[in-house]
Chain A
Amino acid sequence: MVLAGVGGQGTILAANILANALLAHGYDVKTSEVHGMAQRGGSVISMVRFGSAVASPLVPFGEAEALVVTELLETLRNIEFLAPGGRVIASRTRVDPLPVLQGAEEYPPDAEERIMKIAPGSIVVDAAAIATEAGDARAANTVLLGILSPLLPVGEEEWLATIEKLFKAKALDANRNAFLAGRKIAGENA
């Protein structure tokens, strides 16, 4: 699986939750993440691989069962990772990169339509609004994990136990709610 977004959106933590949930279920798991300079508002990407035995921590192009992205432009940028039949789960969030802020380049106005066209069956939601309703706008990533969750052979209890383990008490309620809200949306889309 490939998780992507913009530096500062919490992609590393989301990948860690996903990895630990898969681990709790008994899989071999490897992840890869980006620290340092790219985190200052640049494109970021984390990868999570699982199976009976995983070698490479990096996902080759065309092998991501799911592409989970907190921003539309970054979804398009990483779409080549998606496996045939893989699922895009993205937030309808627009974060303008520098050339767009400057008015030098245009943010693709039809980003969402292009995603739907390239990968039919994609689920695009307003994750930030759902997260805000759940109690914390920063839990947008957790909403997307909730939407992803039924696609993976990990039970709801295991997911919630992992979320409990990895979030501090202060952020726990909002993230649990955000996860469940996402899971409900997945049910509606199934």
Chain B
Amino acid sequence: MPEAKLMTGNEAIALAAYHAGALFASAYPGTPSTEVLEEFSRFEGVYAEWAPNEKVALEATIGASLGGVRSLAAMKHVGLNVAADPWFTLPYIGVGGGLVVVNADDPGMHSSQNEQDNRYYAKAAKVPMLEPADSQEAYDLTREAYRMSESHDTPVMIRVTTRVCHSRSLVVPSEPAPRATVPYEKNEVKRVMIPGHARLRHPVMVKRLAELEELSNDFAFQREERGAGDAVVVTSGVAYQYVKEAFPGVSILKLAMTNPLPRRLIAEFCEQFKDVYVVEELEPYLEEAVAGLGLYPLGKERVPRVGELNVDNVRESFPELAAATGASAPMHIAHVEGLPARPPILCAGCPHRGIMYSLARLKAIIAGDIGCYTLSVLPPLSAHDCQVCMGASITMGHGLEKALELAAEEGEDAGSHRVVSVLGDSTFFHSGVTGLMEMAYNNGRFTVVILDNRTTAMTGFQDHPGTGVTLQHSETVSVDMEMLARSIGIENVVVVDPYDLEECKRVLSEEMNRDAPSVVISRRPCVLRDKSSRRAALAVSREECNECGLCMGLACPALVKRGEEVMILEDACTGCGVCAQVCRREAIRA
């Protein structure tokens, strides 16, 4: 028997895909899904890539599947919004080699802008969905997903959450499947979705869904746990683990296949109990189905719909169940009130700091984006006005500028020239390029700042189309951002060094006041990733410093105020010199 190994859910999914014979994987990095591809890419003989965005990743994966190879796409929940277009038509086409989409939701928003529940995406697209509750299930269900994908000619979603992706538990892998490819065949009626063909395919999907529901009713991983008492808890995913601990010995119907839901199984099991409870994270997805069967479950009336679940809040949701199962919350030390919060901040020496500071000083109206730089929204930098999703900085900035122009004509002049869109290099390649075309084509005249730190920093330093290196470490071409912007029709493209505040201020001020579209590329590698930017630490001269606090406006973790005295933490300082340029008394020196 193979040795049990401690693995994260992401590692287990990658290993299972490899053991299932998957040879192709594509993704755009996104917490908490990133490591699925990183782990998969290390296996012998596989092809794995970072795609510019999730839509591209899924489409490439569809191509690989049609080419006859078992394949995988991975993304975070909001990534599936980007990939939603292929997602909804892929099930019409079906698969060649087995196709699995790993979708990682982030309840509690550890590293996300929302906490949407993507189980509804599986239901809406008629795609079967499997929900692991730990790493062993992540492994087993991914293996099942490939079997199901090929036996039923359908993509399969593995729906995980942060606590499955980033929890470690024991995994005993099973025997790897022999690698097999499906011969390529031309079948345009099945694979070219003109309306006439799609009308033929949709009924096939409906029939398939009925067959999958039968499979779901009999699926070996749907677990009926018969305990004491006259109550049953219906649950899925990591919530199952909390139920086990909150209500020890209670009867549980733990669902692993949650689309299509096993209605016969749910009805037959739950009808044996007086009270039916549903415990699930985020939306009442299971609860709606259970209620639809006339079982009158108790769920989101009590269980939080917002944030993550845990043993404590599950237990508190149903005190009657806790009492019936003899469970009680342990006594614990009271929360210590009044402690200063510790939000994440830009690192010491972060190249985003200088340029965001300059923009704030110029009173720019900043349409921001998704990346480390979003952290500059916090005071004292306060350098963001709006932000919604990947790539939206340029497009929102475009609308914002047009609106401020229209408003100015109505007599309300907020200064449309102040609009600046800010996004990172990886985000620019992800979905900023189309926005740049919008700006050029539709006569936008605002300024776009691309924070080019040569990596995808927030998710842990992944390469992208601008770095010249692939996921599997081979050298490749890199996009020339300046030429790309010019070819789109932006004539004013300037590169600045964000460590040079004078230059940042001059260039930004020029470009913001220009009656034409501009792209400013703020270029310096991430100081965590590339140590070459590091210089000797600076120090504050006690004689020169008058404790004015200007430098504190940079929110640098290397600059601290102790009493009235400002000092630089030698271990933290990377010598970027931005604070020295802010100081009017030349009190900060090497």
Spell out A's residues near B (CB within 8 Å).
6-7, 16, 19-20, 23, 28-43, 54-58, 60-63, 73-74, 76-77, 79-84, 95-103, 105-108, 114, 118-119
Contacts and interface: CB of A to CB of B under 8 A. Distances in A.
B6 A61 contact: no
23 contacts: A28-B170, A30-B167, A31-B169, A34-B166, A37-B375, A40-B375, A41-B557, A42-B342, A56-B245, A56-B310, A57-B163, A57-B238, A63-B330, A74-B342, A79-B336, A80-B335, A81-B332, A84-B330, A100-B340, A101-B555, A108-B339, A118-B336, A119-B333
Given A41-B342, A83-B330, A98-B341, 17 more contacts: A16-B6, A29-B6, A31-B6, A34-B166, A35-B32, A35-B166, A40-B345, A40-B372, A41-B557, A55-B240, A57-B169, A60-B312, A62-B329, A84-B330, A99-B340, A101-B552, A102-B555
Contacts of A108: 339
Given A55-B244, A103-B561, A61 B330 contact: yes
B168 A38 contact: no
Contacts of A105: 340
Most buried by B among A41, A56, A74, A76: A56
A83 B331 CA distance: 8
B110 A34 contact: yes
B9 to A, nearest CB: 10
A39 B460 CA distance: 10
Contact of A32 (B163, B460, B561): B163
Contacts of A56: 241-242, 244-245, 310-311
Given A28-B170, A84-B331, A37 B380 contact: no
Nearest to A60: B311
Closest 8 CB pairs of A and B: A62-B332, A36-B111, A36-B31, A42-B344, A97-B342, A57-B167, A62-B330, A40-B344
Nearest to A83: B330
Q: Of A74, A82, A103, which is in contact with the most chain B CB atoms at under 10 Å from its CB? A: A103
A169 to B, nearest CB: 19
A106 B340 contact: yes
Contacts of B312: 60-61
Contact of B330 (A40, A55, A60, A119): A60
Contact of A54 (B111, B169, B242, B556): B169
Contacts of A39: 344
B311 A101 contact: no
B342 A107 contact: no
Contacts of B334: 80
B134 interface: yes
Interface in B449-489: 458-460
B552 A102 contact: yes
Nearest to A24: B6
B346 interface: yes
A18 to B, nearest CB: 11
Given A60-B310, A101-B560, A16 B344 contact: no
A83 B32 CA distance: 30
